[in-house]
Amino acid sequence: VPLFIRYESLARVMEWLDGQAIDLPVETVPLAEAAGRVLAEDARALAEYPPFDHARADGYAVRGLDTAGASGYGPVPLVLRDEAVAGATDSRLLEAGTAVRVDAGARLPEGADAVIPLAFADEVAGVVELSEAVAPGENVALRGEDFREGEILLTAGRRLSARDLALLAAAGFGAVGVRRRPRVRILILGAGLAASGGERGPGEVFEASAAMLSALASRDGGLPEAPRRVPRASADLVEALRERGADLVLAAGGSGEGADDLAAAAVAEAGRLAFHGIALEPARSAGVGRVDETLVFILPGDPAACFCGYEALAAPVLRRWSGDGAETSGREARGVLVRKIVSSLGAVDFCPLRRVPGGFKPVPPGLAGLAAADGFLLVPEDSEGYPAGSEVAMVLFEP
């Protein structure tokens, strides 16, 4: 295993990652499963909406002009017509001087252009007495007033909200084409790991990265496989890297320069190791490479360092692919440091921050500190940190 001669700059690694294209084919999913997915193509209405003029209120369909002058003191009588005038299969004409009972949402008969709500109408022996006038168009929704057939409703790249699903359903979509979610394979390397919740031998630690990486991949729009432990043998790792079905591999552990550190060599054997050893503290042993169509991230085995490597290297890539657009858009919070940050020169420092009264505060290193943090700041290589009182932008962990 070669020693790290020099650490590649994070900027150079991100530049390489930006150049890695991944083809995510379109898949068609039922609307019921489409929330949060990213629309693959512009959605044009398959049908207009509303599909016909209809009542917005329960009441009586009328010709608005017939109601002129109606009031509580001078009710206007209209001849009540049979309900069959309105309804699903019929569009018979509503003649002048007549009214027909309609429920909200029901189709208006031809000729009707307004609805008198129930509260302003009394039925008496085949006549409806109106105690209020309505103008044409009142309490009525017109055919196509929301959108027309063929109109572009939503554009490609949009993450579908609950409201979008209603819009698409009303426009006739039962299913919709969305980008495939990037499939994420999680490989846990390294010896001395006990399954959390089980027994732990002397010299063993509980494995703590698998559930975390899976949750992070889901958070960023990926579709994680169940994490796998990879035995020590390099051949097993090479095989897991070459196996089809993943767009992205997160390999945690075995990233260093030690005797058991097989990750980089296995990536080089299976495909291409682009960089190993990155000037990113505390994830210096991270690396990136490519095996066929799959982009591989080598991450440190220490869970806190693994998190740093994921957030700094993999999260922006996964979010871009999963269609989030900008990597940090809407995920930044500006604030003032209430304590100084000290950073060493020569490497980007991943600095977790916590919101506190008055601003942001760096947290102590380790998992407990990380859990208490709300986001992070990357301190550039050529910066020795920031004094208390500096205004900084924190990238939030949770969207």
Residues 166-195 that bind a copy of itself (CB under 8 A): 166-175, 190-192, 195
Amino acid residing at 60: Y
Residues 6-35 that bind a copy of itself (CB under 8 A): 31-32, 34-35
Q: Which residues pair with 159 in a beta bridge?
A: 38
What whole-number distance in Å separates Cα of residue 39 and Cα of residue 26? 9
Question: By CB under 8 A, how many residues form the interface with a copy of itself?
Answer: 98
Token duo for residue 206 = 């509980």
Q: Please say whether the beta carbons of 373 and 354 come within 8 A.
A: yes
Examine residue 367 and tell whether it contacts a copy of itself (CB under 8 A): yes
Q: Which is nearer to a copy of itself, 252 or 291 (CB)?
A: 252
Residue 2: count other Cβ atoms within 10 Å of its Cβ: 9
Examine residue 72 and tell whether it contacts a copy of itself (CB under 8 A): no
Q: Please say whether the beta carbons of 297 and 251 come within 8 A.
A: yes
- Tell me which of 257, 293, 384, 391 binds a copy of itself, using CB under 8 A: 257
- Tell me which of 25, 126, 202, 245 binds a copy of itself, using CB under 8 A: 202
- Tell me which of 25, 74, 126, 162 binds a copy of itself, using CB under 8 A: 162
Q: Which is nearer to a copy of itself, 55 or 70 (CB)?
A: 55
- Give the shortest CB-295-to-a copy of itself separation in angstroms: 20
- Give the shortest CB-220-to-a copy of itself separation in angstroms: 10
Q: Which is nearer to a copy of itself, 60 or 386 (CB)?
A: 60
- Give the shortest CB-342-to-a copy of itself separation in angstroms: 16
Residues 267-326 that bind a copy of itself (CB under 8 A): 285, 300-304, 307
CB-count burial class (<10 Å; 0-12, 13-18, 19+) for 78: buried
Examine residue 84 and tell whether it contacts a copy of itself (CB under 8 A): no
Residues 98-137 that bind a copy of itself (CB under 8 A): 101-107, 118-119
Q: What are phi and psi of 129, to 5 degrees?
A: -100, 120
Residues whose CB falls within 8 Å of the CB of residue 162, separated by 6 or more in sequence, listed in order:
35
CB-count burial class (<10 Å; 0-12, 13-18, 19+) for 319: buried
Examine residue 47 and tell whether it contacts a copy of itself (CB under 8 A): yes
**% helix, strand, coil for the chain, step of 5:** 20, 30, 50
Q: Write down how long the chain is.
A: 399
